Amino acid sequence: MPATSVAEELAKKQREISVSEFFERNKQVLGYDSPTKALLTAVKEAVDNSLDAAADADILPDILVEVRKVDKDEFLVAVEDNGPGIVKKEVANVFGRLLYGSRFFARAQSRGQQGLGISGAVMYGQVTTGKATKIISKVEEDDVAYQVELIIDTKKNMPTKVREDRVIWERAHGTRVEVPLKGRYIGGRQSIPEYLEATAIVNPHARITYKPPEGDPIVFERATEELPPKTKEIPPHPHGIELGTLMQMMKETKSYKLSSFLEEEFVRVSARVAKEICEAAGLDPDTKPKSLGLEQAKALHDAMQNAKLMAPPTDCLSPIGERLIKKGLKNVLGNLRPEFYAPPVTRDPSVYSGNPFQVEVGIVFGGDLPADQPVEVLRFANRVPLIYQAGGCALTQAVAHVDWRRYGLEQRGGEGLPFGPAIVLVHVCSTKVPYTSEAKEAVATVDEIMTELDLALKECGRRLKTHLTKKAHRAKTREKFEIVQLILPRIAEKSAKIVKKKVPVLDATITKIMGVVWVDETIAYDKKQKRHSVTINVHNFTDAGKKLNLHLLLPRGVAAKDLDPKPSEVREDGKVTWELKRIDSVDKASVTFVLEGLDEAEYDESDLYVSGINPVLVIGAEPLPGDWELNYAEFETEETPPPAEAEDEGEIDYDETEEALDDE
C-alpha cells in the first residue's frame, strides 16, 4: 500500500545523531553565531575552565590569554593557566567530547556546568579552519608535560588524536590550549578586553595577562590574595523541586524507607521534619519510596513545598562578598575616579526548583562616568561576565523594573534603565544558573530570582540615596558656613569701628545661625601595618547642649579595635553604638577606632547613623531606620518638620543673621 511504502521510506532515512553533529549544525546555540562573537566565546570558555581548575585546587589563578592573527580572518586563541593540570587519560575527553565533564551532576557552584564549553570551541575551530587543537598539560607529579593535537569525530562524539608527545614545559603544573578558528577582532564594547576587565572585577584574586593581536600586553593584577570560599556539593533542597524530578529520585534511591529517603536525599531535612512531611502527605514513613504512585507522589510533593525548612546552606555557593566586590570595582574602575562606591549588598541564600542561589549588587557613582547616558549594567553569573543578550536577561530586567527616581537617578516614566553617572553590578550565583540557552549569555526570569534581585537593588539604591542626601546637605551647610564666616566678621569689624568698641567674639552668633550638629570623619592609613585609624567628630553648632546615640555599621567580617570611648553596644552583625551623653554648644565629641588587615581602598567612608536626636539637626549621618517614627513625639516641641520636608534646611535666613548681630 502506498501509505506503508512512504512510511517505510521515511523510516530508512531516520537515524540517531550524536550531540556533536547537532551542535556542529547549530553552532549559534553555543554562541558561535558570528565571527566577532565566536572569537570572544572561545576565549571565555577557556578562561572559565582555567578559573574553575584553579578554584578546585585552591590555587591563586595566573592566566595568560593570547590572540594571534594567522591570516585575514583566521586567529589562534591560546589560554594558559597555572591550575593543577589534567591527567593524560582525560585530556582528550575533556577537550574532544561534548557533554563530558565532572560538574553536571554536582550541586555546587561552578562556572562550567554542561560540559559544552571548551569542547564546543574546539569543534568550532575544527569546522571553520579544518585544523586540530593543541593542548599541553602537566600535573605536579610528572617531570614532563603531555602534549596532544586532536579533532572531534562528530558522528561518534569522540576525540581523534592527530599527534601526541611528551614535552618539556617550564610550568610546574597547568594547562595550555591553542584553538585555531575563524573570527573577527574588535575593541570597545562586547570585546575580549571588556570581557577580561569584567572577569577581573568579580575575580579579584586572579591575575590575568592579555596579549592582543596588536599593541602592548594588558595586565589585570590581582587585588587580593584571598581565595574564594571552597564550595561543597549538597543534595537538593525540598522547596521548589519539580514533581517529575522527585519521582525519578524515588525510583533511583537506595533507601528502603520514605523517611530515610527524605533525610538522606535532601538538605535541611531532619528526622523530625521527615516525619512531619510524611504525616502532612498522609503517608507511612516506613513506606518504600519506589512503591509510591502518582497521587501519593503529588501529596508528598505538596507536603514538601509547605514544610517549614531552613534556607539552604551557604557552603555550596561562593558569592564574591561585599568587601571583595568593592575591592574588585576599585581595582579595575579606579581610573574613572568615581566619587562613591555604594556599600554592596549580598543577600542571604534562597532557593528555586530545589537549587540554592544568592544575588549580589554593587553601585559605582560619579567621577568621570557619563551623566547623560543610561547607566551601565555589569551582569555576572557564577563570577562569569554576561556580555550578550542584555535585553533578554533577568539581571537587566530587574534593574529596569526598579523606580530609580526614589534613589536620585533620572528615569523617565519610572521604568527602564535610568540615566546618570553610575555603573550597576549584578551577580547571581547558584548550583544551577537558569540560563536561557546553552550559550550561557542570559539568565532566565525565574520568579524567586527576580524577587531577590529586586530587594538587593532597592537596598543598594537606598545606600546610594543616603550618600546623595548626605552630600547635598553637606554642600548646603558648607556654603552657609562659608558665607556666614565671610560676611559676619566684616559686619562685626565695621560695626565695632562705628561704635568704637572691640570686635565681638562671634562663635555664639555663628552657632545660633547654623543650628546643626555636624558629623565628619578623617581616615588615616598605614600601608606597612595595613591599618586604618578612623576619627569621627561630632560638632554641636546649636545654641544648646545635645545628646545622641552614634551608630557605626561596619562591613561584614570586619571588627574594630581600640575603640575610644568604649561603645555602649557592639553586635556581631557589625553595628557599633556610642551613647554621647552631652555635647555643649560650640563643643565637639570625638570617637576613634582602628581597623586592621584591610587594604587602603577597602575602607574609605564610614556608614553612620544617629538616634535620640532630631535627625533634621544632623548633617553627616542618617537617622537610624525606624528611629524618627519611634521618637518623633520627643521632638515635637522643636517645631521642626520631618526629614523629607526639610528641603531648604541649608538656606540662609538673613533676618535671623541680623537679629543675632543685634543681640551681640
CA distance 164 to 146: 8
Grid cell for residue 660: 543675632
pLDDT of residue 424: 93
Query: In the structure, what pLDDT confidence band is assigned to residue 13 with cuts at 50, 70 and 90?
Result: low
**Topology (CATH) of 19-220:** Heat Shock Protein 90 (3.30.565)
Per-residue pLDDT at 451: 94
Among 110, 41, 53, residue whose Cα is nearest residue 81 = 53
Q: What distance in Å separates the CA atoms of residue 266 and residue 307, rounded to the nearest whole number?
A: 13
Q: What is the tens place of the pLDDT at every residue in 517-565?
A: 888 899 999 988 889 999 999 988 888 899 999 999 887 778 899 999 9
Reduced 3-state DSSP string for 457-476? HHHHHHHHHHHHHHHHHHHH
- In this prediction, residues 394-417 reach a mean pLDDT of 90
Residue 110's pLDDT band (cuts 50, 70, 90): low
Between 29 and 115, the more confident residue is: 29
Residue keyed to cell 553569573: 381
Q: Are the C-beta atoms of 484 and 650 separated by less than 8 Å? A: no
Query: Taking the CB of residue 191, how many other CB atoms lie within 10 A of it?
Result: 17
- Report whether 296 contacts 246 (CB < 8 A): no
The amino acid occupying position 434 is P
Which one has a higher pLDDT value, 103 or 622?
A: 622
Nearest to 61 by CA among 279, 191, 227, 283: 227
Question: In this prediction, what percent of the chain has a pLDDT beyond 70?
Answer: 86
pLDDT of 382: 87
Select the more confidently predicted residue: 657 or 328. Answer: 328
CATH for 243-306 (3.40.50.300, 1.10.8.50, 3.40.640.10, 3.40.50.1110): 1.10.8.50
pLDDT at position 656: 43
- Does residue 200 have a pLDDT over 60? yes
Q: Are 562 and 535 within 8 A, CB to CB?
A: no
Q: How far apart are CA 103 and CA 112, in angstroms?
A: 7
Confidence of residue 211 (pLDDT cuts 50, 70, 90): very high
Average pLDDT on 615-623 reads: 82
pLDDT at residue 445 greater than cutoff 90: yes
- Please state the rounded mean pLDDT for residues 619-639: 54
Q: Please tell me the predicted confidence (pLDDT) of residue 457.
A: 95
144-164 pLDDT tens trace: 999 999 988 877 878 889 999
Is the model's pLDDT at 471 over the cut of 50? yes
DSSP state, residue 420: S
Q: What is the mean pLDDT of residues 133-146?
A: 93
The pLDDT assigned to 427 comes to 93
State the CB neighbour count (10 A cutoff) for residue 401: 14
Q: Which of 29-38, 64-73, 594-603 bottoms out in mean pLDDT, i.e. has the lowest? A: 29-38
Q: What is the pLDDT of residue 75?
A: 94
Rounded distance, CA 586 to CA 74, Å? 73
Q: Grid coordinates in use for 368?
A: 568621570
| Whole-prediction pTM | 0.68
Model pLDDT, residue 538: 92
Confidence at residue 417, expressed as pLDDT on a 0 to 100 scale:
93
Q: What is the mean pLDDT of residues 562-570?
A: 92
Q: Is the pLDDT of residue 660 over 70?
A: no
pLDDT of residue 644: 38
Q: For residue 646, what pLDDT band results from cuts at 50, 70 and 90?
A: very low
Q: How many C-beta atoms lie closer than 10 Å to residue 392's C-beta?
A: 15
Q: What is the CATH number of domain 332-466?
A: 3.30.230.10
Of the listed ranges 87-96, 314-323, 459-468, 640-649, the one predicted with least confidence: 640-649
Closest CA to 577 of 587, 588, 595, 591: 591
Structure-model confidence comparison of residues 32 and 407, the more confident one:
407
The residues pairing with 116 across neighbouring beta strands, listed in sequence order, are none
Residue 2 pLDDT = 53
pLDDT of residue 569 exceeding 80, the answer is yes
- Indicate whether 15 pLDDT > 60: no
Which H or E run contains 512?
helix 507-514
Identify the pLDDT of residue 282: 94
Asked if the model's pLDDT at residue 80 lies above 70, the reply is yes
User: How many CB atoms neighbour CB 292 within 10 A?
Assistant: 21
Most confident of 176-180, 324-328, 582-586: 176-180
pLDDT at 219: 93
Q: Using CA atoms, how far apart are residues 612 and 483, in angstroms rounded to an integer?
A: 30
At residue 529, φ and ψ (nearest 5 deg) are: -95, -5
Task: Return the higher-pLDDT residue of 127 and 513.
Answer: 127
**Whole-number pLDDT of residue 27:** 61
pLDDT digits (tens, 9 = 90+) for 253-308: 999 999 999 999 898 899 999 999 999 999 999 999 999 999 999 999 999 999 98
Whether 648 has a pLDDT exceeding 50, the answer reads no
Fold of 505-663: Immunoglobulin-like (2.60.40)
Confidence band of 18 (pLDDT split at 50, 70, 90): low
Query: Which has more confidence, 490 or 219?
Result: 219
CA distance 46 to 42: 6
Contact between residue 345 and residue 165 where contact means Cβ atoms under 8 Å apart: no
Residue holding cell 588524536? 161
- Cβ atoms of 135 and 147 closer than 8 Å: yes
Tell me what the mean pLDDT of segment 426-444 comes to.
87
Q: Can you list the positions of beta strands (E) in 41-100? A: 62-69, 74-81
- Sketch the domain layout of the chain as residue ranges: 19-220, 243-306, 332-466, 505-663
In a 13 Å sphere around the CA of 443, the CA atoms on its Cβ side amount to 28
Q: Is 332-466 in the same CATH topology as 19-220?
A: no
Place of cell 554642600: 475
Q: Is the pLDDT of residue 390 over 60?
A: yes
d(CA 74, CA 210): 18
pLDDT (mean) for 579-606 = 88
CB 411 within 8 A of CB 458: no
**Grid coordinates standing for 90?**
582525560
Mean model confidence pLDDT for the chain: 83
> In the predicted model, what is the mean pLDDT of residues 110-136?
78
Of residues 99 and 267, more confidently modeled: 267
Whole-number pLDDT of residue 658:
41
pLDDT for 366 beyond 70: yes
